[in-house]
Structure 1
Amino acid sequence: MSRPDASPPENSSSPDGDTSSKQPLQRKPGLLRSGLIVSVMTMLSRVLGLARDVVIALLFGAGSGADAFFVAFKIPNFLRRLFAEGAFNQAFVPVLSEYRSQRQQADVKDLINAVAGTLGVTLAGITLLAVLASPVLVWIFAPGFSQLPEKQALTADMLRITFPYLLLISLTAFAGSILNSYDRFAIPAFTPVLLNLSLIGSALWLTPEMDEPVMALAWGVLIAGAVQLMFQLPFLARIGLLPRPEVRWRDEGVQRILKLMAPALFGVSVSQINLLLDTMLASFLVSGSVSWLYYSDRLVELPLGVFAIAIATVILPSLSTRHAEKSADGFARTLDWAMRMVLLIAVPAAVALIILAEPLLFTLFQYGAMTPYDVDMAALSLRAYAVGLLAFMLIKVLAPGYYARQDTKTPVKIGIKAMAANMLFNLLLVFWLDHAGLALATSLSAFMNAGLLWYGLKRSGIFVWQPGWLKYVIQLVSATAMMAGVLLIMNPFAAYWVDFGWQQRAMWMGGLVLMGGATYLGVLLLTGLRLRHIRH
């Protein structure tokens, strides 16, 4: 497969350096092909992410040190998803796409320079304040840690090291947004691999050098941020768009992005805020609750990141271009295609996670410091998160339907309703189901969020059902039901997984995945689904 970032775009600088004239945009690859490129790269990252979590579980288990690191990493990581990959990306890409379609190349470069400088200065200020106020942030994000002063102090120390990651990874996301807008999807999708490699390396080689071993993970996060940013810069230079940062708050494009970002800061990342609320409440529960939620969330993130985020990544520039071209039919068909792709993966993935919760956790994490009891507890929250997987994935592809049209207010209103519902569900369920209740509350509020997003698009005539949905749903349900039956028959009892060595676990899990996947794909083919039906 040829790399989509191997050659400069047709509208980059001309050989004589003239960038003032607007040139026709290059022919874009199909969304399915682009999505597959992102999925493959993201799959590599997620697999290494699981390897990273296996190493962390092996060395640190689900004890106080692991809890402290997960909170210290979650705070800047949450803000990254909320700010960089959330609000900023959803505001910046539509404006950049409009500049490409309707303005000169020199204007595009000018916008990138102004955004780079303004974004960098803003994030540097936020980072400095956060490092100085790290104990306060720990108290806000994990108030339950205040009952254990040593745990709270350790978390604050690690946060001083991990928080600058927000600055570095936000600039990385900015670079990735530019590359994605120019259909260079592979490099931004590959970049997270470097985070996982850095954390694995730090855990294995820095841990013995530290007075407090878990601090090695914090340094791994900081190293990863710098490496990821430096990795993308040569590819920006290759397409002639390496920024020359200029701080210009009054720039027209910067002002438009800021206005779009303000509401999007909340609306685009409601699911992340809900997960953060889970962490806050879990900090009051028995020690290990934060880690159980983390390990189960990581498994849900695999299909979410590999498929839903990949689809969302490739449709946002496409939807933004369709909107700029006033192509309502093309806009509607792209949204319909995205929803079909989400269902194709989300439905069987959710069922498989529910059925195989313990086997997956045993196979990946139950070694060293991770106990069978930890697996049982994490399985409860994994099933609760899996219930909402379809909703999590739908949110990722429905939200771009608003942001591509530069409508950030509607998702905010929907997000507020979903947030209130999540808080209510948390309070109702945490007393009965402990940490699993927090996960289930997140899933329920996600369905409310996704439903309202879809209803808003449908009511305004932006989303239009395309032909063939009834047959498609019947095919998915039939294939998923057959897959579930095969997995239930083949899955050994949980007691066997405790006694299995890692080789037996890996072989059994591999067999389950192959048989389940083959059954699902086989039934889809038998019921008439073909590759041409899902191309776009």
Structure 2
Amino acid sequence: MAAEAKGVVAPPRRGLMRSGLVVGSMTMLSRMLGLVRDVVIAALLGAGQGADAFFVAFKIPNFMRRLFAEGAFNQAFVPVLSEYSTQKTKAEVRELLDAVAGSLTMVLALITALAMLLAPWITWLFAPGFSRDPAKLALTADMLRLTFPYLLLISLTAFSGSVLNTWNRFAVPAFTPVLLNLSLIGAALLLTPLMEQPAMALAWGVLIAGVAQLLFQVPFLSNLGLMPRPWPNFAHEGVRRVLKLMTPALFGVSVSQINLLLDTVLASFLTAGSVSWLYYSDRLVELPLGVFGVAIGTVILPALSKRHAEQSREHFSKMLDWALRAVLLLGLPAALALALLAEPLLISLFHYGAMTDNDIVMASMSLRAYALGLVAFMLIKVLAPGFFARHDTKTPVKVGIIAMVANMVFNLILIWPLAHAGLALATALSAFLNAGMLAWLLRRQGVLVFQPGWGRFAFQLGGGCVVMGGVLWWLAPEWHQWLAWDALHRGAWMAGLVVIGAAVYFTWLGFTGVRIRHFRLHG
């Protein structure tokens, strides 16, 4: 029976490149505001005790958000919802949304209440090194009680975003994180003077942001006629399928986040400021990762899920190949630029107020290590959906466990000679192991079939990176000069280098035959 005859809510098909550009542009806005947020925080708090306490208090619920909401839940829910939207009636789709929303709310409300009650012990678990400073440990626990409800609020936001993404409404979920950055910037500027402990204002900012992000998406769900009426129903067939897929997915796509959290745990034992150095360097890597890697992964999961539901294996393989090329096209030059311009970037963004010269030197070491793994982080974002879209969450889990064990081994080996930078390097190496195994398994299963032209594409990318890197190395002033410049001078130089580097890279690509039409593919 045709979809229309069954009254199915059928999402429209749109070009993957167009959808990716929408998500990427919204994510770019969010990440740029995120950098503004971090500039404000760095100026107010630097890399001291208050900053370390806030970053841990925010990292715990944020980590669980990425693990549960954007990680396991999203990867389990979207394939099931895509199947319902393709093969079921509108009433059945609404029943699924009601049951999933209610069940998710009940579970996360209980977890949130328990976490707030056990905040001191959770803080000790995630940052055991803070136990050497009782005041720092207590401050972090107090902040955690304010930040942990963010998990419940942002998970419901992610639920709403998954529905909107399945119906190809990518712009709204991609824009939503902007509200978090605006909230934290406002809290830092307006609430900090009112607080006895300035860092506590940021914890309030996180809580306010969670409420704002959830409420923002409600009208858009209502306009689609998909606003759920939450009612827990763990016996619902769709809920049971989501839970079955979600359990192993907890480790699958979120391995890189688990590795970053392990870095924080170990960094809490190192010199004061180590947690903050890792945070600032990770934030710079998150910019291209979010704009390119996460954007492509976001649009490809619903598209792959629909192709799997339609049993369109050839189109499925072409989508994966397209995603790999798109990630490499943008990820390789981004990683190279981060490595070459580490100190100038950190100085331009963060060397104000309480941020010291030594903080810049230390953060640049971990930034280069994270930059090494940027392409691998991106590849995981597009390779894992190749399994999740086919309802295979067990394979990524097995790969993820291997990568986690490898990361801990690398951590123990590298932390002694390289301190916090060794932790970042260990995360990068384990990400390559993770991505490599995922690609190899997809190839062995016959799911990932490389399309013609990879040899020429490798030459085009490699040549573009060499030319761009040479130009940046030649033009960029020695990093000590940046310390003497004011913010305007730094910003002008950095903008110029970014524009010139991008122009050189894309000019080379155009000269060697890369065209926009080569990356057009319908979902």
Q: Shorter-chain TM-score: which interval?
A: over 0.9
Name which of 473, 478, 481 aligns with 2:458.
473
Q: Which residue of 2 aligns with 1:330?
A: 315
CA contact (8 A) 2:188 2:202 kept: yes
The reply to whether residue 165 of structure 1 matches residue 133 of structure 2 is no
Aligned positions of 1:62-461 closer than 5 A: 62-461=47-446
| C-alpha displacement of 1:278 | 0.2
What's the CA shift string for 1:364-405, capped at 9, x where partnerless? 000000011100000000000000001000000000000000
Equivalent position amino acid for 1:258 in 2: L
| C-alpha displacement of 1:511 | 1.0
Equivalent position amino acid for 1:61 in 2: G
Equivalent position amino acid for 2:247 in 1: A
Q: Which residue of 1 aligns with 2:44?
A: 59
Aligned positions of 1:445-524 closer than 5 A: 445-524=430-509
Q: Which residue of 2 aligns with 1:8?
A: none
| C-alpha displacement of 1:25 | 2.5
Q: Between Structure 1 and Structure 2, how many residues are aligned?
A: 519
| C-alpha displacement of 1:22 | 2.0
| C-alpha displacement of 1:503 | 1.1
TM-score, normalised via structure 1 length: 0.96
| C-alpha displacement of 1:266 | 1.1
SS of 2:452's partner is coil
| C-alpha displacement of 1:190 | 0.1
What's the CA shift string for 1:75-118, capped at 9, x where partnerless? 00000000000000000000000111111111000000000000
What's the CA shift string for 1:444-477, capped at 9, x where partnerless? 0000000000001000000001011111110000
Between the aligned partners of 2:66 and 2:11, the Cα distance in structure 1 is 30
What's the CA shift string for 1:341-381, capped at 9, x where partnerless? 00001110111000000000000000000011100000000
Unaligned runs of at least 5 residues, structure 2: none
Between the aligned partners of 2:511 and 2:236, the Cα distance in structure 1 is 57
Q: Identify if the C-alpha distance between structure 1 residues 291 and 514 changes in structure 2 by more than 3 Å, giving closer, same or farther.
A: same
The reply to whether residue 525 of structure 1 matches residue 514 of structure 2 is no
Q: Identify if the C-alpha distance between structure 1 residues 67 and 24 changes in structure 2 by more than 3 Å, giving closer, same or farther.
A: closer
SS of 2:198's partner is coil
| C-alpha displacement of 1:24 | 6.8
What's the CA shift string for 1:202-228, capped at 9, x where partnerless? 000000111111100000000000000
What's the CA shift string for 1:247-300, capped at 9, x where partnerless? 111111000000000000111200000000000000000000000000000000
What's the CA shift string for 1:31-75, capped at 9, x where partnerless? 000000000100000000000000000100000100000000000
Between the aligned partners of 2:261 and 2:221, the Cα distance in structure 1 is 33
| Over 6 Å off, 4+ runs | none
Equivalent position amino acid for 1:505 in 2: R
Equivalent position amino acid for 2:517 in 1: R
CA contact (8 A) 2:78 2:301 kept: yes
| C-alpha displacement of 1:170 | 0.2
What's the CA shift string for 1:115-154, capped at 9, x where partnerless? 0000001000000000000001001100000001000000
Between the aligned partners of 1:427 and 1:392, the Cα distance in structure 2 is 21
CA contact (8 A) 2:304 2:385 kept: yes
| C-alpha displacement of 1:26 | 4.7
Root-mean-square deviation (Å): 1.0
| C-alpha displacement of 1:21 | 3.9
SS of 1:284's partner is coil
SS of 1:405's partner is coil
Equivalent position amino acid for 2:316 in 1: F
Equivalent position amino acid for 1:478 in 2: G
Equivalent position amino acid for 1:435 in 2: H
SS of 2:419's partner is helix
Equivalent position amino acid for 2:35 in 1: L
Between the aligned partners of 1:65 and 1:26, the Cα distance in structure 2 is 47
Between the aligned partners of 1:372 and 1:24, the Cα distance in structure 2 is 57
Percent of residue pairs identical: 66
SS of 1:28's partner is coil
Equivalent position amino acid for 1:267 in 2: G
Between the aligned partners of 1:24 and 1:173, the Cα distance in structure 2 is 20
Q: Which residue of 2 aligns with 1:5?
A: none
